[in-house]
Amino acid sequence: MINYDFLRLRTHASPGQSLCLSKISLFSSICSTFPLSVCSMRTVLTDIDTMKKSSSGALTAQQKAEQDQRYGENHQYDYVIIGTGNAALTVAALLAHAGKKICMLEAHDIPGGYVHTFHMGEFAFCAQVHYIWGAGPGGRVNAFLRKIGLDRDITFELMGPKGYDLMSMPDGEKVFIPYGWDQLAKNIDDAYPGQKKNVEKFTGIIANIRKELSQMPDRKLTLWDYLTKWFNFLTLIRYRNKTVQDVFDECGLSKEAQLVLIANAGDLMEPPKDLSIFIYAGLFGGYNTGSYYPTKHFKYYIQRITDFITEHEGCHIYYETEVTEILTERDKVQCVKTRDGKTFTAPHFICNMDPQRASHMIGRTKFPPKALESLSYEYSPAGVVIYLGLKDDIDLREYGFGNYNIWHNEQWDMNTMWDEMGKLNFANPWIFLSTPTLHTSAPGNAPEGHQILEIASYAEYQPFKDALDKSYKDYMALKDKVANRMIDVAQEKFIPNLRDHILVKVIGTSATNDDFCLSPNGNAYGSRLIPKNVTTARLKSETPFTNLRWCNASSGWPGVYGTVVTGSNLYTLLTGDRFYDQSTAPSDDAMVAEVRERLRREV
């Protein structure tokens, strides 16, 4: 077995041209393919102190020279975009399609932010994302791809047919999460009789929240809106400060029904006692309308959009070009400067970097108190993820895996599990298991006959950071301790002798995110998804500077769907091109019906 650790591994191959709610994980810079076969892979180790931050050193001298030459040509850009996360790629692709000249500055050596893919030998691991919604007809991801003409190139597989998530319970019961609230209530009642009406009450509230959210104007609300339309949003008004646990209790759900409904808490990186019911309705309700995986994997999704941008005349991406200064004068950004001494100017700037971090770079004294208040959010947690490349002597389908994910729970109370795991007590944890090589038949993520298993869970950032600050040996010991317990659970509950089948193992933590993704505290979703951060006061794209816009999870919404919405909305705001009209989009019921019909045809 090859055990790689990203903070020590360094390669000198070309940058990958090939990605990540869930969500927890590692932002590795290793994106190149080793020149050795899987059976003869070897590691190249170097002392951590000599390791380049935020890069694997993957750009060759020739590639750096080409970037320097392009910079010397003094190109004139309409927009300079800091970062190449999914929100940035979305708005950049739309602006390039509209004829704007785009410059993107990426600290890493590959694009995609948390939606990037790294390679280990012939295995390719998506760093954070495992499934998305909104990719079917009428969805926002689909609308974005249709707008730029890539909807027939980037296609998606519908997960199922029994369901897209399988909830594995402490008593051994397994409950599928299907498409449609009616079937969900039946599945839970079949497993735990007597809960059907309670579940229907809960999903009814979720359905009303989603319906009212869909009717909200996609612009800044005015006083007239509040005075004349408040009665259309009674559910939103009532539940605006509610957590998922509040609504569980209101509906009288049993501990069993609660756990089935919140076993995927890792998708949102908050326990039910803290998680906003609005965010839950967005994600859980979103997946209910169709859960998808890209036919050619997430690496193709990101690379195709990246290529689309740079195929447009005058549009460029500079890699290993970390922005270190944002210079302003009065109410405008004048230019940005990079660690390697370059200066970039344009009439307009878009910041995909964490807004809090960028505000410190600009200077907090330049922001009025109201703006600083919006920029004072807490960061969401992240966790640990284990990427396993398996030998060709095992088929995970024989162990209950398939075209769905598994959320396994060792005890009934998610709040208790969350509290314990936050203290690195993994005696009875939850773990997430995903099999991307079973979500599509397309090759590209593993050698023929091999499969990938990814195991993820929640853990706080600070213990790993403290261990890393103390010594690399302490960090490795802590990381291995947590990862080994997660593998123990997977081996005890699902795959006997799992360790015997592991060919490649990679472990990432939130400390890895912090280093490679420049993600403060290694956060998964920007600001915490708690009620106070999910109101009309939430940070938006506007800044005190007339030519600077925020565009990331904290100033919009997280996840692939959320960042596509964030990037698309910013494009509309900048250009007036309202290519997606929520008022004419299909309803949730219509989308569920379409998904069920597609599954019927495919089966």
SS3 string, 113-132, reads: CCCCEEEECCEEEECCCCCE
Query: How far are the Cα atoms of 13, 74, 593 from residue 97, in angstroms, in the given order?
Result: 32, 22, 33
Residue-wise pLDDT tens digits, 71-97: 999 999 999 999 999 999 999 999 999
pLDDT at 220: 66
Do 405 and 443 fall into the same domain?
yes
SS3 11: coil
Asked if 348 and 137 touch (Cβ cutoff 8 Å), the reply is no
Do 364 and 396 fall into the same domain?
no
Query: In this structure, which long-range contacts are made by residues 477-483, counting pairs with CB atoms below 8 Å and at least 24 apart in sequence?
Result: 478/424, 479/5, 479/384, 479/507, 479/509, 480/507, 482/384, 482/424, 482/426, 482/457, 483/384, 483/386, 483/507
Count of domains for the chain:
2
Residue 478 lies in a domain: no
Round to whole Å and give the CA distance between 454 and 387. 5
Do 278 and 397 fall into the same domain?
yes
pLDDT band at 18 (very low <50, low <70, confident <90, very high): very low
Amino acid at 193: P
Phi-psi region of 487 (alpha: psi -120 to 50; beta: other; left: phi over 0): alpha
pLDDT at 232: 77
- The arithmetic mean of pLDDT across residues 406-425, rounded, is 97
Look at 168-177, 221-230, 276-285 and tell me which has the smallest mean pLDDT: 221-230
- The arithmetic mean of pLDDT across residues 459-463, rounded, is 95
Q: Please check the confidence at residue 329 and state whether its pLDDT lies above 50.
A: yes
Asked if 414 and 272 touch (Cβ cutoff 8 Å), the reply is yes
Round to whole Å and give the CA distance between 464 and 544. 36
The mean predicted confidence, pLDDT, of the chain is: 90
pTM, two decimal places: 0.91
Asked if 537 and 133 touch (Cβ cutoff 8 Å), the reply is no
Q: Please check the confidence at residue 108 and state whether its pLDDT lies above 80.
A: yes
pLDDT at 363: 97
Q: Higher-confidence residue: 215 or 117? A: 117
Angle CA(228)–CA(232)–CA(238) in degrees, nearest 5?
A: 110
Do 397 and 529 fall into the same domain?
no
Residue 147 lies in a domain: no
Query: How far are the Cα atoms of 157, 379, 383 from residue 525, in angstroms, in the given order?
Result: 25, 8, 12
DSSP line for 131-195: -BSS-STT-HHHHHHHHTT-TTTS-EEEP-SS-SEEEEPTTS-EEEE-SSHHHHHHHHHHHSTT-
Looking up residue 464, the CATH number of its domain turns out to be 3.90.660
- The arithmetic mean of pLDDT across residues 564-569, rounded, is 97
pLDDT band at 224 (very low <50, low <70, confident <90, very high): low
What is the β-pairing status of strands 548-550 and 348-351? parallel
- The arithmetic mean of pLDDT across residues 138-144, rounded, is 97
pLDDT band at 513 (very low <50, low <70, confident <90, very high): confident
Residue 571 lies in a domain: yes
Round to whole Å and give the CA distance between 331 and 552. 21
The percentage of the chain sitting over the pLDDT mark of 70, rounded to a whole number, equals 88
Order across the sheet with 452-459: list the strands: 2-4, 502-508, 382-390, 452-459, 430-434, 405-409, 165-168, 174-177
Smallest CA-to-CA distance from 457 within 484, 438, 476 is with: 484
pLDDT band at 216 (very low <50, low <70, confident <90, very high): confident
Q: Higher-confidence residue: 276 or 21? A: 276
- The arithmetic mean of pLDDT across residues 331-352, rounded, is 98
Q: Please check the confidence at residue 256 and state whether its pLDDT lies above 70.
A: yes
Do 404 and 451 fall into the same domain?
yes
pLDDT at 1: 62
pLDDT band at 34 (very low <50, low <70, confident <90, very high): very low
pLDDT band at 177 (very low <50, low <70, confident <90, very high): very high
Residue 386 structure tokens = 């284990």
Do 404 and 500 fall into the same domain?
yes
Q: Higher-confidence residue: 43 or 101? A: 101
Q: How many CB atoms lie within 10 A of CB 590?
A: 13
Round to whole Å and give the CA distance between 189 and 205. 18
pLDDT at 47: 31
- The arithmetic mean of pLDDT across residues 242-255, rounded, is 98
DSSP line for 66-124: HHHHHHHT----SEEEE--BHHHHHHHHHHHHTT--EEEE-SSSSSBTTS-EEEETTEE
Q: Please check the confidence at residue 33 and state whether its pLDDT lies above 60.
A: no
Q: Please check the confidence at residue 52 and state whether its pLDDT lies above 70.
A: no
Residue 350 lies in a domain: yes
Q: Please check the confidence at residue 343 and state whether its pLDDT lies above 60.
A: yes
- The arithmetic mean of pLDDT across residues 36-64, rounded, is 51
pLDDT at 536: 79
Q: Please check the confidence at residue 20 and state whether its pLDDT lies above 70.
A: no
Do 285 and 328 fall into the same domain?
no
Residue-wise pLDDT tens digits, 275-321: 999 999 999 999 999 999 999 999 999 999 999 999 999 999 999 99
pLDDT at 312: 98
Q: Please check the confidence at residue 215 and state whether its pLDDT lies above 70.
A: yes
Angle CA(536)–CA(542)–CA(546) in degrees, nearest 5?
A: 155
- The arithmetic mean of pLDDT across residues 352-362, rounded, is 97
Q: Please check the confidence at residue 24 and state whether its pLDDT lies above 80.
A: no
Q: Please check the confidence at residue 546 and state whether its pLDDT lies above 90.
A: yes
Look at 10-19, 47-56, 349-358, 545-554 and tell me which has the smallest mean pLDDT: 10-19
Do 104 and 241 fall into the same domain?
no
Residue 88 structure tokens = 């940035």
Q: Please check the confidence at residue 184 and state whether its pLDDT lies above 60.
A: yes
Does the N-terminal peptide bond of residue 161 adopt cis geometry, omega within 30 degrees of 0?
A: yes
The percentage of the chain sitting over the pLDDT mark of 90, rounded to a whole number, equals 83
Residue 458 lies in a domain: yes
Round to whole Å and give the CA distance between 234 and 374. 25
Do 168 and 206 fall into the same domain?
yes
Do 307 and 277 fall into the same domain?
no
Do 68 and 195 fall into the same domain?
no
pLDDT at 219: 61
Looking up residue 570, the CATH number of its domain turns out to be 3.50.50.60
pLDDT at 10: 31
pLDDT at 320: 95
pLDDT at 214: 86
Do 260 and 388 fall into the same domain?
yes
pLDDT band at 582 (very low <50, low <70, confident <90, very high): confident
pLDDT at 2: 57
Round to whole Å and give the CA distance between 125 and 436. 9
Q: How many CB atoms lie within 10 A of CB 537?
A: 11
Residue 536 belongs to domain spanning:
2-133+299-374+518-575
Q: Higher-confidence residue: 233 or 169? A: 169
Residue 142 lies in a domain: no
pLDDT at 158: 97
Q: Is the dihedral of CA 129, 131, 132, 136 positive or negative?
A: positive
